[in-house]
Structure 1
Amino acid sequence: MAYKERFKVCFCFNRFYRFRETEPPESIRILFQQYSENDIMTIDHLHRFLIEVQGEQNASKDSAQAIFNSSHKHLKFLPRKGFNLDIFIRYLLSDDQNGPLRPLGVHHDMSAPLAHYFLYTSHNTYLTGNQISSNSSIAPIIDALKRGVKVIELDLWPNSKKDDVEVRHGGTLTRPVELIKCLRAIKDNAFSANEYPVVITFEDHLNQTLQAKVAKMVTIMFGELLYRNDAKKLEVFPSPESLKRKILISTKPPKEYLDEESSMEREDSQRQGSSDEEQTQNTYKKKLGATNKVLLDEDEDEDQIFPEYKSLISIHAGKPKGGIDDCLIDTNTVRRLSLSEQELENAVKTHGATIIRFTQRNLLRVYPKGMRLDSSNYDPMLGWTHGAQMVALNMQGHAKFLWIMQGMFRANGGCGYVKKPDFLLPAGNHMVFNPSAPPPVKKFLRVTVYMGEGWARDFRHTHFDRFSPPDFFVKVAIAGVPADEARKQTKAIEDDWLPVWDESFEFSLRVPELAVLRLEALEYDTTGVPDFGGQTCLPISELRNGIRAVPLNDKKGNQYKYVRLLVRFEMRSA
């Protein structure tokens, strides 16, 4: 494809754009001809295009006029009668007016119990890098909260002087940060993204004296922001709506720390082997248990021994002694259970339906296995498809599983709470969803990748040689239940900063409510390892039909300023 050096420069939607003189995608040219006259798309034509191609059935002529007015404001040479082909393409590539997701804001019912929602959950939130030697800091906590993360994890340990509390990853070389700094960072940023509640999970390795100190510290720091339920175990969790601008503490009641390692954990350690980190923590727990056991032997009423600390806990956590059957017993009161990714993988093989029933009332947190020292992640879909609300991922890493997490929580206005589909909630017919045997195909999704742009302008961030145009191709993948998982890709376009593919792919979806679309641009490399060119993940439940501008992000999920794809989404019922 020829690429000429002469550009037209204009201001369009508050950005510079350089118009090339190569042909646009043929499909786009044909559509423009269908919805224009004498090479001009009038407001009437644009109105019809919005309804018939973009699927915006409620679009009015005022909607079309608003688009035209916005374009005309920034383009002095725009014909007052309508769009020409170039300006039409610029409109299509404008993500502020033509983005891929429906602009619905927070639209899920937020009045149900917390157990009815997926929560945007982080693991070891305080770490800046790997799990073994990186610094602990408030910076990743602040970043997570600003991104809409709603569950923050802090590991509490005595400092070297044993008279204060610090946050670090125990049994490793990670450097600590003071707990008080973490609490202040949470208070200052908890509601920077929105007003829905923030949950802090404490992984507690403290003695009674330091627990009392933490209780005082938390109470003073959060004040009226702290949600309390008078240390009583709940029969049902409150709703996100009722907990707006509240901070909740979730941890194990103090007495349970004295008998930390259940028989299931011992069996798991024997079967899989323990990491150095886990062995160090278990040794510490045994010493801590021996110290505090004397206190409990003198007086079994823990309300008298740990009143301040216990009063903080609004979401009680714990793993009962015994096997998975004991862990999943549904009692009159609700609680939080934590399982490692390996424990979940093993449990769903024989207890999948029981896990889903458990999560209809109780909270399930899933966390990465101890051997993920590089802050890598596991597939969050296994947890979500079994109703787990708190699927905790390492926010320090970057790869497709974290991208899928970011995509899932773009739904519901990005508020950090996504209501679970009805089939994962209590039902009158007592039927339980089976992710391994999902229902028949419900939807078909057709994805057409037309073209890409912006790499030449963002080359400093995308790390491509400015003078050597890349050979881009695009991966199109579905993350979801096993039957919906699929991956396809376009051909590579050689030596072009503005590649045109014009290729279509169709996907069948059995559980579209849980599916996430992943788009990844890559540069073909003769070594076999393609270079990264941008990615995004989108919740299929909120995709807009029609031809849309899809901005791409870097590996960490930060949006590039200019890089985007032009993609058409066509969803139809089976």
Structure 2
Amino acid sequence: MICGRKARPAAEQPRSPSDGSGGPRRPGRALKKMGLTEDEDIQRMLRGSLLRKIKSRGGPRERLFCLQEDGVTVCFEGRFGRARSQQSFSVMHIEGVREGHQSEGLRKYGAAFPERHCFTLVFKGKRKNLDLAARGEEDARHWVQGLTKLMGRLQAMSQPEKLDHWIHAVLQRADRNKDNKMSFREVKSMLRMINIYMDDVYAYKLFKECDHSGDERLEGREVEEFCRRLLRRPELEELFGHYSGEDRVLSAEELRDFLRDQGEDASLRQARAVIRAYELNEKARQQDLMMLDGFMMYLLSAAGDILNQEHTKVHQDMSQPLCHYFISSSHNTYLTRNQIGGTSSTEAYVRALMAGCRCVELDCWEGSDGEPVVYHGHTLTSKILFRDVIESIRDYAFKQSPYPVILSLENHCGLEQQATMARHMKDILGDMLLTQPLEGQDPHNLPSPEQLKGKVLVKGKKLPEPWHEHQGVTSLLDPEEEEEEEEEEEEEKLQERNSRRAKDASQVAPELSAMVVYCQAVPFPGLAHALRHPRPCEMSSFSERKARKLIKEAGPALVQYNAQQLSRVYPLGLKMNSSNYNPQEMWNAGCQLVALNFQTPGYEMDLNAGRFLGNGCCGYVLKPPCLRSPPGEGTRRLALHIRVITAQQLPKLNREKGSSIVDPFVRVEIHGVPADCSKQQTHHKLNNGFNPRWDETLSFQLQVPELALVRFVVEDYDSTSCNDFVGQFTLPLASMREGYRHIHLLSKDGASLSPATLFVHIRCKSL
């Protein structure tokens, strides 16, 4: 995070426009580079505004919010009282700004404030929303518009611009007396901030070389020169020299050779196009030449990213039946924390859907006033109205992806409130809700994601046809409920409660039954029976334990079963902390809906994000041929060689605690079929999170590359305790590009750690 942690002296505290402070604070260099120094919204944000934080507990609290001169950090603190605790957040961590009462928090607790005074900041990762109310409509508008502009500018920055912006933000933090000059003491402070240990003698030598005025202060161009020297990339200079030769200039022909070695389009025409797009020097560009700066710009751009940029959009065949796709699926979607005492929230559905999730779970229970509620039954989790959940799904189902959303209903309601559920879905979702088989489609076969674009499907129990009331119901328990019953009986021997729940859930309302079309939840009939009598529109759910047992005992048969109908896997119901299981083993067996607790960060969610990265994050990924039509053809075996070269600008851990500089190492993990699962790591580098260099090659052999995910992890080595996580990035091997590539690291909860990167060389060879 870029924000400053140290509170300013009282005399320097930014003041609210309402307190007669007069003109704006001087914008920093970063805002000048963004072209926002004269912007009215930014000026107001720099001066600061009194905003109320709307929270469920303790009532609204007024705080002074100020944008800092770096154009990225917003600081806020208590306006009154003796103690002033300063907090901050980065604009780079904001995912969106919602105006008015457009969050669960403001709808519940913001009624006392006019809607036009209110707005919500939605953060990336797991940080909670920040619900705010300004003193007036004008102030709210300035903040909404200003933050939106800053987010747009930051998103549009190239990686070199982000690096430049980052270093100048650090400089501003290190410039303690705010005189726009850097003493050697301030330079040393800056080096610690950016996670690099530099010998005092070497640091002072570099300082003196840049101090052309000789006054023991760096300012203006001297500071720029110092930053340029810090940001040098010797490994890129060496690579450039290898292809450019002694003249240190790349011709179009030499660049073509580099592109060929990268596995790119190696035509002269493409090389000239790259020069026109990335070369900074006008004269060189006119002569089809590329200088070092242009070459670095190219390698740090999306064109030099390890992720195939064609895979950032939907590029797979979306016309095959649903059972031929992995489908991003959430378990206990309503929870924001653990399943025992966590908070239930409609915002959890919004976050899951915006993360590309296409199957969300609703645990539905009897509520007061005839209104069904969603929560984790028999626990202390809070309750939310079923109606409010459906409204959130309506509003966000198709903002991230146009492909169908499946509502997995775990139904514990009586007939009357089931009918209410059906009515709410019909009234709120309208035409989005699929209630009939598609016209012209065989009603017994599954349609494709393409055919179901913009549609919401209900997964639930269905009455036999034709249905008459006098017919007894043998068991209409949700398969998931049945398996949870079995587990609880095994684990806790709560037979009495189980039988009572089974009795209560043994009927289904005709209105709700009618909404189940392609995802009829049924008890698992056994593999032998299912393979003899396939029913594509029926689906069964398995606990992770049951799924593992099936994989172990009849893996090939389970693959065949999953080639013709859908199955859902979910975590064991007894995990108090909502931990996850490794989804890879379930994908290996062709299971489509491998449901995870999206609210629980960890390597399992990294794998889930990586799995669905390769098709535009649309929530549907086509399974490889060997899982769609088993036994299928033999796969192409590969040798994978990853040379881990360097890292850049790794974040400092626990910065507020004044922790030491990291000792980073890189681990590369392969997640795939059991024969392919392995991991290797580099040695650690002492005291350097700024530009550590390893130059170590890690090699792997892969039997089924189509299913493999590659996870790059950076950790801080500790000889006496567990290593600390620094950052990671996970992607499908099929979406990984060969050659020299940059990897943009993500935090534990999936947010960007920009400008932190790894620089690697990738080589694949058929065996």
Question: What TM-score bracket applies, with the shorter chain setting the length?
Answer: 0.7 to 0.9
Residue 476 of structure 1 pairs with residue 684 of structure 2: no
Residue number in structure 1 paired with 2:410: 203
**Which protein has the larger Cα radius of gyration, Structure 1 or Structure 2?**
2
Residue number in structure 2 paired with 1:406: 609
TM-score by length of 1: 0.85
Residue 155 of structure 1 pairs with residue 358 of structure 2: no
1:108 Cα deviation (Å)?
Answer: 1.4
Residue number in structure 1 paired with 2:598: 395
1:426 Cα deviation (Å)?
Answer: 2.7
- Indicate how the Cα distance of structure 1 residues 101 and 63 shifts in structure 2: closer, same or farther if over 3 A, else same: same
In the alignment, which of 735, 744, 749 is matched to residue 542 of structure 1? 735
Residue number in structure 1 paired with 2:427: 220
Question: What is the alpha-carbon distance in structure 1 between the residues aligned to residue 478 and residue 434 of structure 2?
Answer: 29
Question: What is the alpha-carbon distance in structure 2 between the residues aligned to residue 454 and residue 477 of structure 1?
Answer: 22
Aligned to 2:429, the other structure's residue is in SS state helix
Question: What is the alpha-carbon distance in structure 1 between the residues aligned to residue 283 and residue 719 of structure 2?
Answer: 44
Question: What is the alpha-carbon distance in structure 2 between the residues aligned to residue 142 and residue 406 of structure 1?
Answer: 16
Residue number in structure 2 paired with 1:269: 487
- Indicate how the Cα distance of structure 1 residues 162 and 206 shifts in structure 2: closer, same or farther if over 3 A, else same: farther
Residue number in structure 1 paired with 2:576: 373
Deviations 1:462-505, CA, capped at 9 Å, x for gaps: 74877843111001110000000010001111111211111111
1:565 Cα deviation (Å)?
Answer: 0.6
Residue number in structure 2 paired with 1:16: 163
Q: Name the Cα RMSD after superposition.
A: 3.2
Deviations 1:540-559, CA, capped at 9 Å, x for gaps: 01111111111011111112
Quick one: which amino acid aligns to residue 177 of structure 1? I
Quick one: which amino acid aligns to residue 34 of structure 1? Y
Residue number in structure 2 paired with 1:45: 254
Question: What is the alpha-carbon distance in structure 1 between the residues aligned to residue 385 and residue 532 of structure 2?
Answer: 37
Q: Which runs of 5+ in 1 are unaligned?
A: 1-8, 293-301, 434-438
Residue number in structure 2 paired with 1:164: 371
Residue number in structure 2 paired with 1:567: 760
Question: What is the alpha-carbon distance in structure 2 between the residues aligned to residue 516 and residue 60 of structure 1?
Answer: 31
- Indicate how the Cα distance of structure 1 residues 321 and 279 shifts in structure 2: closer, same or farther if over 3 A, else same: farther
Question: What is the alpha-carbon distance in structure 2 between the residues aligned to residue 328 and residue 173 of structure 1?
Answer: 42
Deviations 1:143-176, CA, capped at 9 Å, x for gaps: 11111111111111111x2611111011211101
Q: Contact conserved, 1:253 with 1:316, CA < 8 A, in 2?
A: no
Question: What is the alpha-carbon distance in structure 2 between the residues aligned to residue 190 and residue 257 of structure 1?
Answer: 35
User: Which structure's relative contact order is higher, taking Cα pairs within 8 Å and 6+ residues apart?
Assistant: 1
Question: What is the alpha-carbon distance in structure 1 between the residues aligned to residue 229 and residue 712 of structure 2?
Answer: 25
Moved more, 148-157 or 324-333: 324-333
- Indicate how the Cα distance of structure 1 residues 443 and 241 shifts in structure 2: closer, same or farther if over 3 A, else same: same
In the alignment, which of 492, 497, 511 is matched to residue 684 of structure 2? 492
Q: Contact conserved, 2:524 with 2:540, CA < 8 A, in 1?
A: no
Residue 283 of structure 1 pairs with residue 476 of structure 2: no
Question: What is the alpha-carbon distance in structure 2 between the residues aligned to residue 173 and residue 240 of structure 1?
Answer: 37
Question: What is the alpha-carbon distance in structure 2 between the residues aligned to residue 286 and residue 229 of structure 1?
Answer: 29
- Indicate how the Cα distance of structure 1 residues 121 and 265 shifts in structure 2: closer, same or farther if over 3 A, else same: closer
Question: What is the alpha-carbon distance in structure 1 between the residues aligned to residue 759 and residue 744 of structure 2?
Answer: 9
Aligned to 1:49, the other structure's residue is in SS state helix
Residue number in structure 2 paired with 1:436: none
Residue 126 of structure 1 pairs with residue 343 of structure 2: no
Question: What is the alpha-carbon distance in structure 2 between the residues aligned to residue 561 and residue 364 of structure 1?
Answer: 38
Aligned to 2:309, the other structure's residue is in SS state coil
Quick one: which amino acid aligns to residue 577 of structure 2? D
Moved more, 77-86 or 503-512: 77-86
Aligned to 2:518, the other structure's residue is in SS state strand
In the alignment, which of 102, 108, 115 is matched to residue 308 of structure 2? 102
- Aligned residues with identical type, % of pairs: 31
Quick one: which amino acid aligns to residue 376 of structure 2? H
1:35 Cα deviation (Å)?
Answer: 3.6
1:92 Cα deviation (Å)?
Answer: 1.9
Aligned to 2:616, the other structure's residue is in SS state helix
Moved more, 60-69 or 543-552: 60-69
Q: Contact conserved, 1:252 with 1:318, CA < 8 A, in 2?
A: yes
Question: What is the alpha-carbon distance in structure 2 between the residues aligned to residue 339 and residue 28 of structure 1?
Answer: 54
1:398 Cα deviation (Å)?
Answer: 1.1
Deviations 1:329-374, CA, capped at 9 Å, x for gaps: 6334531110000001112222222211211111010000112221
- Indicate how the Cα distance of structure 1 residues 323 and 424 shifts in structure 2: closer, same or farther if over 3 A, else same: closer
1:251 Cα deviation (Å)?
Answer: 1.1
Question: What is the alpha-carbon distance in structure 2 between the residues aligned to residue 432 and residue 83 of structure 1?
Answer: 47
1:29 Cα deviation (Å)?
Answer: 1.1
In the alignment, which of 648, 653, 663 is matched to residue 453 of structure 1? 648
Q: Contact conserved, 1:459 with 1:465, CA < 8 A, in 2?
A: no
Quick one: which amino acid aligns to residue 745 of structure 2? L
- Indicate how the Cα distance of structure 1 residues 154 and 440 shifts in structure 2: closer, same or farther if over 3 A, else same: closer
Aligned to 1:411, the other structure's residue is in SS state helix
Residue number in structure 2 paired with 1:419: 622
Residue 182 of structure 1 pairs with residue 389 of structure 2: yes
Moved more, 278-287 or 554-563: 278-287
Question: What is the alpha-carbon distance in structure 1 between the residues aligned to residue 474 and residue 337 of structure 2?
Answer: 28
Q: Contact conserved, 1:36 with 1:42, CA < 8 A, in 2?
A: no
Q: Contact conserved, 1:55 with 1:545, CA < 8 A, in 2?
A: yes
Q: Contact conserved, 1:233 with 1:333, CA < 8 A, in 2?
A: no
Residue 249 of structure 1 pairs with residue 458 of structure 2: yes
Question: What is the alpha-carbon distance in structure 2 between the residues aligned to residue 33 and residue 80 of structure 1?
Answer: 23
Deviations 1:500-533, CA, capped at 9 Å, x for gaps: 1111111111111100000001111232311111
Q: Contact conserved, 1:141 with 1:185, CA < 8 A, in 2?
A: yes
Question: What is the alpha-carbon distance in structure 1 between the residues aligned to residue 444 and residue 497 of structure 2?
Answer: 36
1:121 Cα deviation (Å)?
Answer: 0.7
Deviations 1:115-152, CA, capped at 9 Å, x for gaps: 11100111111100111111110112111111111111
Residue 349 of structure 1 pairs with residue 552 of structure 2: yes
Q: Contact conserved, 2:483 with 2:542, CA < 8 A, in 1?
A: no
Question: What is the alpha-carbon distance in structure 1 between the residues aligned to residue 295 and residue 675 of structure 2?
Answer: 38
Residue number in structure 1 paired with 2:699: 506
Question: What is the alpha-carbon distance in structure 2 between the residues aligned to residue 12 and residue 396 of structure 1?
Answer: 30
Question: What is the alpha-carbon distance in structure 2 between the residues aligned to residue 248 and residue 261 of structure 1?
Answer: 16
Quick one: which amino acid aligns to residue 477 of structure 1? E
Moved more, 104-113 or 233-242: 233-242
Question: What is the alpha-carbon distance in structure 2 between the residues aligned to residue 374 and residue 233 of structure 1?
Answer: 43
- Indicate how the Cα distance of structure 1 residues 350 and 275 shifts in structure 2: closer, same or farther if over 3 A, else same: same
Quick one: which amino acid aligns to residue 534 of structure 1? G
Q: Which runs of 5+ in 2 are unaligned?
A: 1-29, 34-157, 165-226, 465-472
- Indicate how the Cα distance of structure 1 residues 20 and 234 shifts in structure 2: closer, same or farther if over 3 A, else same: farther
Q: Contact conserved, 1:451 with 1:565, CA < 8 A, in 2?
A: yes
Q: Contact conserved, 1:264 with 1:324, CA < 8 A, in 2?
A: no
Aligned to 2:341, the other structure's residue is in SS state coil
Aligned to 1:564, the other structure's residue is in SS state strand
Quick one: which amino acid aligns to residue 450 of structure 1? I
Aligned to 1:118, the other structure's residue is in SS state strand
Residue number in structure 2 paired with 1:528: 721
Higher share in helix: 2
TM-score by length of 2: 0.64
Residue 364 of structure 1 pairs with residue 556 of structure 2: no
1:415 Cα deviation (Å)?
Answer: 1.4
Residue number in structure 2 paired with 1:551: 744
1:25 Cα deviation (Å)?
Answer: 5.7
Residue 68 of structure 1 pairs with residue 275 of structure 2: yes
Deviations 1:429-456, CA, capped at 9 Å, x for gaps: xx379xxxxx68711111111111122x
1:383 Cα deviation (Å)?
Answer: 1.0
Q: Contact conserved, 1:25 with 1:500, CA < 8 A, in 2?
A: no
